[in-house]
Structure 1
Amino acid sequence: MDFKTKEEVHNRAVQIENIKQKDLIKMLNLHIKGNKNAMGDVFEAWFGKPKDSASQPDLGVSELKATPFKRLKNGDISAKERLVLNIINYEDLNKENFENSHLLEKNKVLELGYYEYNKDIPKEDWFFAKCVMYEMLNNKNDLEIIKKDWEIIQSYVKQGKAEEINEGITNYLAACTKGVNKHSMRTQPNSNVMAKQRAFSLKGSFMTTLLRDYIFGNKHSDAIIKDSTELSTQSLEDIIHSKFKPFIGKSVKEIVNDLNIPIKETKTIGKYNVEIVNRILGIKSRNGIEADEFKKASIVPKTVQFNQRNTNKESMSLPPFKFKDLVEENWNDKDGSPEASLNVYFSETKFLFVVFKTDDDGINYLKGIKFFRVPDDQREGIIKEAWQQTVDTLLSGVKLTFENNRVSNNLLSSKDRKIIHVRPHAAKSSYVDSKDSNELPAPAKWTNKPESYSQNFMTTQSFWLNKNYIKSAVEDLL
């Protein structure tokens, strides 16, 4: 097939929607049954494209990408993974500028075929639910942030530090590892040190926002940046710092007055923290601190309250997991198994800690803000160990003990001092099949099991960031 315009590509793409994989394979006379990349192969074959690794866009005018999404237990839709674009050639990247870059040439127009990753139905019954044309050049705010991300990655190469690149240094566009063995190392132009092979990718958080806001709904969040020209001279982080700067060191009472936040008799001053952050950033949110840029960039904002003794009470919950999914993952992407979602989360995520502290007189102050990402050596060391310990416990059968009308378990606790621990992430405890539980990969080993409880279900859990670790990250602001 010959496609002369991106519109012709898109018109062809929408015709694939809602046709099952097995029927597409018959229609196109393909021999790909059992291929883990079957949906991608089918999508390309739909356009008559032969498999290759060309550096140009797949169809000259558009790059084709099949990408999975999943439905969460609460009904929300989420991207299953980051969108990998193209392998980075460090030698070429060193000489490019963004406007004539290989990245932009190949990916400025993406034809995205979204299909639902659903383990409960056979893969041959999967289908493309929606096809969307995404053009990088059409969203000026996105483009400016992607450009700055590209320049950050390039700067590491120019400095001869390609081996230090990681996904947490950027916001929307990342450089993810591609291959994890000695054969996937690459030379770099300004150093003799070999660097991991990496590919440009759009973060999973960015892909989730595209899904929710532009494809399967209209759940737009307010944007912090109202004018894209702000990004021509400042980074996203610089802009956020500048918004907070006038208020750092002020009491919450002063800030509430400065920002004309209505005083509510039912609220203590300490309860204004989230409202203050939203007002400072110029966003409206009914559910915590939500901004378009945060969701796309995998920036996780968190207010941290300290008392006069420099004690913070709360650990921080991370996204919940399904037990059976967790034990099927590999820490790194290999052998066709999915990469551990916890590894991806810490690779991509940057925390924005907004620190408040009460003094000896009971007055609460905004002490400062800090962008923080978990260092790679901790992610690949103690956090990986904690993840593996959790997987091993689940596979061997989690130990549950019913005593004094409550259930305890032998999953990782904060006392283990491994940066993270495992705790419930549900409205109520449940040891039967319910919305507050999920299925275990191996029967639980019970002590004093109540008759109505199951061996096969347990309250939904998530990893939590230890409160002491959060304190250590922001201690310089206290």
Structure 2
Amino acid sequence: MEFKTKEDVHNRAVQIEHIKQSDLINQLNLNIKGNKNAMGDVFEAWFGKPKDSASEPDLGVSELKATPFKKLKNGKISAKERLVLNIINYAELDKEIFDKSHLLRKNKVLELAYYEYNNDIPKSDWYFAKCVTYEMLKDKTDLEIIKRDWETIQSYVKNGHAEDINEGLTNYLAACTKGKNKNSLRSQPNSDVMAKQRAFSFKSSFMTTLLRNYIFGDKKSDAIIKDAKSLETQSFEDIIIDKFKPYIGMSVNEIIKKLNIPVKESKTIGKYNVAIVNKILGIKSRNGIEAEEFQKASIVPKTIQFNYKNNNKESMSLPPFKFKELAKEKWEDDEGNPSATLNIYFAESKFLFIVFKSDEQGNNFLKGIKFYRVPDEQRNSIIKNAWLSTVEELNDGVKLTYDERRKRVSNDLISAKDKMIIHVRPHAAHSSYINNVNSNELPKPARWINKPKEYSNNYMTTQSFWLNSSYIKKSVEDLL
């Protein structure tokens, strides 16, 4: 088949939608049973394209990419994984400019075929739900952030430190490991040190936003950057820092007057914190602090309230998990990339901590902001061990103890007292040990002590990992 325009490619792509994988395999006379990349192979075969590793776009005018999404328990749609683009040639990258780069040449126009990753049905019944043409040059703001990400990765190669590249360095575009296994190495031009083979990729958070905004029509968040030109002279992080600078050190009362924030009938310290942050950023958020750029870059904003004794009470909730899914996860894949949901979260995410502190009289002040990323060393040691402990407990059967006097259930999962950076605690509106909206199914029956008759062995209150309040405090102590 010959495709002269991206429109020709897209018109062919939409014809594959809603056809089961098994029917496509028969129709195209393919032999790919059991192949974990079956959906990608089927999509390429739909266009009559043989498998290769060419440096040009698959069809000359468009690059073909099949990519999975998943439905979360709350009904939202999320990308299952990053989108791998092309292998990085360190020697080539060292000499390139972005506008003429291999990355842009190959991936300027992507024909994305989204399919639902659903373990509850046979893979032979999977199908492509939606095909869409993504053009990297269309969104000027995204393009400037992608360009800065590319230049950040390139700078490590130019400085002879390709071995230090990691996915947390950048916002939308990352450099994930890519090879036969995690020990696949290649030379770099400005150092004798061998570096992991890597590929450019769009982060899973970026893919999730594309999915929700442009495919399922669920765009809800304002953008902070109103004019892409501002990104030509400043990084996204510097723009955020500059927005907050005029207000650092001011009292909350002064800020709400200056920003014309409505006065609330409440004496609760911290009642204005989120409203202040949204006003400073110039966004209107329905729930907390939501901005399009934060979602795409997996930047997690969090207001932190301290009292005059420098104590912060609140730990920070991380995304909830399903017990059965968590129990089956692996921390890394065969190539050494994060595979477990928690590992991906910490590898890709950075936090934007906005720190407030009250004095002895109850006056509240904006002390400062800080972008913070959990170090890889901590992610792959303490946090990994906490995650492994949780997985092992679930697979062995979590221990549940009912206290008749307090009418409460305790478990043996990690707690904040274990001082492992993270801990596990409920993420549901109400505790539940039966099958309902506040619980989910365990991979193995719980080991009960004093189980009430009406409680189940197979269901437990939905939990999530939480970032310890003590860890958050240590991360922002310099602002206090």
TM bracket (short chain): over 0.9
- Match in the other structure for 2:142: 142
- Whether the 8 Å CA contact 2:182–2:336 is kept in 1: the answer is no
Quote how far apart the aligned CAs of 1:337 are: 11
- Match in the other structure for 1:409: 411
- Match in the other structure for 2:464: 462
- Whether the 8 Å CA contact 2:177–2:336 is kept in 1: the answer is no
- Whether the 8 Å CA contact 2:174–2:203 is kept in 1: the answer is yes
- Match in the other structure for 1:133: 133
- Whether the 8 Å CA contact 2:338–2:347 is kept in 1: the answer is no
Q: 1:24 is aligned with what amino acid?
A: L
- Match in the other structure for 1:425: 427
Q: 2:256 is aligned with what amino acid?
A: V
- Whether the 8 Å CA contact 1:177–1:198 is kept in 2: the answer is yes
| 1:147 match: secondary structure | helix
Aligned positions, number: 478
- Match in the other structure for 2:213: 213
What are the within-5 Å matches in structure 2 for residues 134-213 of structure 1?
Answer: 134-179=134-179, 181=181, 183-213=183-213
Per-residue CA deviation, residues 130-170 of structure 1 (Å, 9 max, x unaligned), is 00000000000000000000000000111111111111110
Cα distance in 2 for partners of 1:260, 1:267 equals 19
Q: Is 1:351 aligned to 2:355, yes or no?
A: no
- Whether the 8 Å CA contact 1:329–1:337 is kept in 2: the answer is no
Quote how far apart the aligned CAs of 1:182 are: 6.2
Cα distance in 1 for partners of 2:138, 2:338 equals 32
Cα distance in 1 for partners of 2:402, 2:21 equals 47
| 1:368 match: secondary structure | strand
Cα distance in 2 for partners of 1:270, 1:115 equals 42
TM-score scaled by length of structure 1: 0.98
Q: 1:180 to 1:2 in 2, by over 3 A?
A: closer
What are the within-5 Å matches in structure 2 for residues 333-352 of structure 1?
Answer: 333-334=333-334, 339-352=339-352
Quote how far apart the aligned CAs of 1:361 are: 2.2
- Match in the other structure for 2:362: 362
What are the within-5 Å matches in structure 2 for residues 233-272 of structure 1?
Answer: 233-266=233-266, 268-272=268-272
Q: 2:37 is aligned with what amino acid?
A: N
Q: 2:201 is aligned with what amino acid?
A: S
Q: 2:87 is aligned with what amino acid?
A: I
- Match in the other structure for 2:56: 56
What are the within-5 Å matches in structure 2 for residues 28-107 of structure 1?
Answer: 28-107=28-107
Q: 2:346 is aligned with what amino acid?
A: F
Root-mean-square deviation over aligned CA pairs: 1.4
Cα distance in 1 for partners of 2:202, 2:270 equals 37
Q: 1:14 is aligned with what amino acid?
A: V
Q: 2:478 is aligned with what amino acid?
A: D
Q: 2:223 is aligned with what amino acid?
A: A
| 2:16 match: secondary structure | coil
- Whether the 8 Å CA contact 2:206–2:296 is kept in 1: the answer is yes
Q: 2:360 is aligned with what amino acid?
A: D
Per-residue CA deviation, residues 409-444 of structure 1 (Å, 9 max, x unaligned), is 000111111000011111111111111111111111
Quote how far apart the aligned CAs of 1:33 are: 1.4
Quote how far apart the aligned CAs of 1:219 are: 2.1
Per-residue CA deviation, residues 275-311 of structure 1 (Å, 9 max, x unaligned), is 0000000000010000010000000000000000000
TM-score scaled by length of structure 2: 0.98
Q: 2:444 is aligned with what amino acid?
A: A
Q: Percent identity?
A: 75
- Match in the other structure for 2:117: 117
| 2:137 match: secondary structure | helix
Cα distance in 1 for partners of 2:63, 2:7 equals 13
| 1:454 match: secondary structure | coil
Of 78-87 and 215-224, deviating more is 215-224
Quote how far apart the aligned CAs of 1:360 are: 2.1
- Whether the 8 Å CA contact 2:181–2:336 is kept in 1: the answer is no
Q: Is 1:434 aligned to 2:448, yes or no?
A: no
Per-residue CA deviation, residues 111-134 of structure 1 (Å, 9 max, x unaligned), is 000001111111101100000000
- Match in the other structure for 1:19: 19
Cα distance in 2 for partners of 1:99, 1:208 equals 26
| 1:279 match: secondary structure | helix
- Whether the 8 Å CA contact 2:176–2:337 is kept in 1: the answer is no
Quote how far apart the aligned CAs of 1:266 are: 3.3
Quote how far apart the aligned CAs of 1:319 are: 0.5
Cα distance in 2 for partners of 1:31, 1:182 equals 28
- Whether the 8 Å CA contact 2:177–2:337 is kept in 1: the answer is no
Q: 1:192 to 1:299 in 2, by over 3 A?
A: same
- Whether the 8 Å CA contact 1:329–1:338 is kept in 2: the answer is no
- Match in the other structure for 2:292: 292
Cα distance in 1 for partners of 2:475, 2:427 equals 24
Q: 1:279 is aligned with what amino acid?
A: K
Q: 1:29 to 1:139 in 2, by over 3 A?
A: same
Q: 2:20 is aligned with what amino acid?
A: K
- Whether the 8 Å CA contact 2:180–2:335 is kept in 1: the answer is no
- Whether the 8 Å CA contact 1:308–1:357 is kept in 2: the answer is yes
Q: 1:182 to 1:297 in 2, by over 3 A?
A: closer
- Whether the 8 Å CA contact 2:181–2:335 is kept in 1: the answer is no
Gaps of 5+ in 1: none
| 2:36 match: secondary structure | coil
| 2:393 match: secondary structure | helix
| 1:254 match: secondary structure | helix
| 1:146 match: secondary structure | helix
- Whether the 8 Å CA contact 1:437–1:460 is kept in 2: the answer is yes
